[in-house]
Amino acid sequence: MKITVITGSAHKHGTSALLVDSFIRGAEEAGHKVYRFDAAQKEVHPCIGCDTCQTKGKGCVWKDDMRELNPHLLESEVIVFASPIYYFNLSAQLKTVIDRFYANNAALQGGKKAILLLTMADNTEESAKVALSWFDHMVNFMHWENADTVVGINCWTRDDCKKTEFPIQAYNLGKSL
């Protein structure tokens, strides 16, 4: 199975990266092929709503690192989104990538599974409520299957997160696909 993981954290070794590393280890051990796109370390311009991608048939006007990601998105059976929670929602880096899905909207719809991996310092999932609701709406709009979520609470630092069950949950999720 082909899996694309899109991360949204600026911290290469942060809490959400720990969940991603654990997920990928499980998925690869299960024999899946995983491609990882670290959005914060890539050049991705925001969608400007010009509709060139929809009206001219030439793709997006931006010639940035989405050109690297797009083929993987189109061929993957599973798309994994990973982000820390910032102000009750996904990081801007991840949201910018997702907004750019618009250029391939029709081709991306249907036939995929989606997974959401979140981390936050807060001690309740209440702070992830907006992100979880957004994820449900996006999955429904794209006609994808919501395969699962891992919401890592009390994950202020990577060491804090290591002391929780969330990396194990992410590993098991990757292994179970």
In degrees and rounded to multiples of 5, residue 33 shows phi and psi of: -95, 125
Distance CA 128, CA 94 (A): 15
| Element of type H or E holding 140 | helix 129-142
Closest residue by Cα to residue 40 from 62, 13, 63:
13
Model confidence at 133, in pLDDT bands (50, 70, 90)? very high
Sheet holding 113-119, edge to edge: 33-38, 2-7, 78-84, 113-119, 145-152
Q: What is the phi/psi pair of residue 45, to 5°?
A: -80, 150
What pLDDT, on a 0 to 100 scale, did the predictor assign at position 57? 81
Q: Does domain 2-176 have CATH number 3.40.50.360?
A: yes
| Tens-digit pLDDT profile for residues 138-177 | 999 999 999 999 999 999 999 999 999 999 999 999 999 9
pLDDT tens digits for range 1-41: 999 999 999 999 999 999 999 999 999 999 999 999 999 99
pTM over cut 0.75: yes
Gyration radius of the chain over CA positions:
16
Name the nearest CA neighbour of 90 among 66, 117, 63: 117
Length of the chain: 177
Looking at residue 83, its pLDDT comes to 98
Nearest to 2 by CA among 110, 112, 142: 112
Question: Which residues are 146's β-sheet partners?
Answer: 114
- Domain ranges in the chain are 2-176
CA max distance for the chain: 51
